[in-house]
Structure 1
Amino acid sequence: MTRARTTPRRRASGLGLARAAAAATVVALTLLAPAAPASADDVTWSLAPGDGGLGAGRANFVYAVEPGQVVDDVLVVTNPTASPLDLAVYATDALTTPEGHLDLLPAAQAPTDLGAWIETSASAVHVEAGARVEVPFTLRVPADAAPGDHAAGIVTSLAATSGDGALTVDRRLALRVHARVAGDLTPALTVTGVDVVAHGTPRPLGAVAATVTYTLTNTGNTRLVPTESVTVRGPGGSGARSVSGDLDEVLPGSSVRRTVEVTGVRPLGRATAAVRVDGVAVGGAGATTAAGSATTWAVPWATVTLVVLVIVAAASAPGLLARLRRRGRVTPDGRVEPGAAHR
């Protein structure tokens, strides 16, 4: 069972969505696995798309539409508990947060994209204990809708007030809505603000860790599932170390700030970080690539310190031996005679 987020607040707040899978099909929110209940304290309910002409057993709502098209669909709300529920129902826009998670606009912020195109048949729904209620809604695509992917969520919300009435708690559950408007699809990414910091080590000749940060922005009009590769290398490409992995889906117009730790870097004076991100559009709508780089000093201070100490010791040794000889503590063959100066 997937638990709903309980958010204490004085005003309405945003709703977290799940990380999206790297697949052509849409996945459900963190707050709602398909047809699974979400609970907060002793309150539980679940959401699912209604079965009908648009499909059966859907995880959430996915549409391929034309500008000006109208789509009618149904949200099913199920209350498996022994108490009735009164829920608010509304639609709002989705986005990718700077941390890379899918989320919805705060409840107090009006939607301007897909969330504004969706009208539910009611703004509130009463669900008796053990019952289910269908909530029809209509998606009206504007005639001038931009081609590409648009994302939203249909939210159900249960508001409760604390004992003194000063604190409101929202318990929310939502299903994602994706609409791809017909037209030219242009996957695009940018990598900007690349920075690299090489950390020190107390071990002479030891490797260090480097922290690479950058901003990834989906500048195209398709949902993208990125794969990143971050490499840190020394002068001439020496001692290259790489980290790679898949990232969560990034919605069009959203930016994600990435921080990547690369270990095993050899501090050879200068270090260059190279970032490459390959993005695959959801639904097989093409792919794109973006790259960026930055350079920093990576001085092996522990090794430098050790070398300096050795040089100082080597430079000081002849003078030290000469002073010891003058004091009679060193024989001509280099042996030290304890107490020789006091004979």
Structure 2
Amino acid sequence: MTINRARGVLARLAVLAALPAAVLVGPAAPSHADTTWSVVPANAGGPDGRSVIDLELPGGGQVVEHVAVINRSTEPVEFGIDANDGYLTSKGYFDMRPSDVAPVDGGSWITVPEKVTIAAGATSVVPVTVSIPGNATPGDHPAGVTASLETVSGQVRVQNRVGVRLNIRVTGDYVAKVAVSGVRAEYTGSWNPFVPGTVEVTYTVANAGNIRLVSDNRVLSSTLFTENSWSDPSAARARELMPGGSRTYVARVVGAWPLGPVRTTVVAAPSLAGAAVPDVAVRQAAVATTVWALPWPQLGLVVLLVLAFFALRLNAARRRRRIEELIRLAREGRSQEA
């Protein structure tokens, strides 16, 4: 991916892969010229068409990968090369720790040149050596490699980074499981007695295993006579969870009638992210909670109906007594005339 922005615009410091993209955006504008560049996975000969670098190595293993840094500007540029740990943002997108923060996991296993100077319009293939420690824990250790450029605007120094994601997996005993926690449910009823209410559920899904997972979440609510379900394909599905990572969701289940206890169950059904792993069982997790929904509008309607019924009966009794009184008076008048 290539990003071009005119000079004078303050660029964000970001290493971002929206979806499983490998090229992370972040333009820069040094001196008096626009500078754009790309970083993509490569082999020793140049870009190889991959979007990310996937590695699976045993503890103590080593491999040399490559990334291609492409200078798309009209002048030579010296880029800083950096490797660091990767993580997922609160929205589920891949990012990297800042370059001034020392890596502590997969990023610390990567060795790259400190700088590279690339002629205008040229491409440089940069070796990326990944050395797994002998005592590395099995599972996924996300990392990334970036090419960066610093600009100075007044008293502000801005670092712009473009990079490639590395999915480093250490072989061993893989564990694929999720945990659901922090389940809270709140019922919101309608003042219209003929309209059901809504159950708002907040919950957190965490990756309690050691490999990357994608969790498909569902929320079920049931009352004495009804059952409703919710699934959110945009927010709660197909969102990657790193080992040890978690995401919090808010679901709104409509169509719940206020009939006393409303039992709400959150079901997280995980699947493996990336390549399939033989003989790894993935189990779903479920946690339930109960919220009380009292039928105040319906009770109010019943009270109104009962009051209306007795009012009608009282009015009918009064009318009947009045008619009987009129009949009595009419009979007495005829008796007096006779």
Q: Deviations over 1:82-106 (max 9, x none)?
A: 2443432211111233443332223
Counterpart in the other structure of 1:259: 250
User: Are residues 1:222 and 2:214 paired?
Assistant: no
| 2:43 alignment partner, SS class | coil
**Contact 1:99–1:258 (8 Å) recurs in 2:** no
Match of 2:270 in 1: 279
Identity of aligned residues (%): 32
> Do the aligned residues in 1 keep the contact of 2:23 with 2:51 (CA within 8 Å)?
no
Gap change, CA 1:301 and 1:155, over 3 Å in 2? farther
Please name the residue that 1:156 is paired with. 147
* SS of 1:288 mapped into structure 2: coil
Q: Aligned to 1:242, which of 230, 233, 239? A: 230
Distance 1:132 1:221 in 2: 36
User: In the alignment, is the contact (CA less than 8 A) between 1:96 and 1:255 conserved in 2?
Assistant: no
Match of 1:303 among 298, 302, 305: 298
User: Alpha carbons of 1:152 and 1:171: their partners in 2 closer, same or farther (altered >3 Å)?
Assistant: same
Alignment correspondent of 2:21: 28
Counterpart of 2:328? none
- For the pair shown, the structure with the greater C-alpha radius of gyration is 2
Please list, as runs of the form range in 1=range in 2, the aligned pairs for 1:324-335 lying within 5 A after superposition.
331=323
Contact kept? 2:221, 2:265, Cα under 8 Å: yes
Question: Considering only aligned residues, what root-mean-square deviation do their CA atoms show, in Å?
Answer: 3.2
| 1:181 alignment partner in structure 2 | 170
Amino acid in the other structure paired with 2:50:
R
Deviations 1:210-252 (A, max 9, x none): 221111111111111211121111136x233332542311111
- Is 2:113 the partner of 1:113? no
Paired residues for 1:56-95 under 5 Å? 56-95=48-87
The equivalent residue for 1:338 is none
Q: Say whether 1:49 aligns with 2:41.
A: yes
User: TM-score, length-normalised on structure 2?
Assistant: 0.80
Tell me, in whole angstroms, the C-alpha distance in 2 between the residues paired with 1:66 and 1:173.
29
Counterpart among 126, 136, 139 of residue 145 in structure 1: 136
**Distance change >3 Å, CA 265–CA 315, structure 1 → 2:** same
Q: State the 1:261 CA deviation.
A: 2.1
Show structure 2 runs of 5+ residues with no match: 326-338
The separation in 1 between residues aligned to 2:44 and 2:119, in whole angstroms, is: 23
Question: Does the CA-based 8 Å contact 1:78-1:131 persist in structure 2?
Answer: yes
Q: Give the equivalent residue in structure 2 for 1:340.
A: none
What is the TM-score of this pair, normalised by structure 1?
0.79
Label 1:105 to 1:204 Cα distance change in 2 as closer, same or farther (>3 A).
same
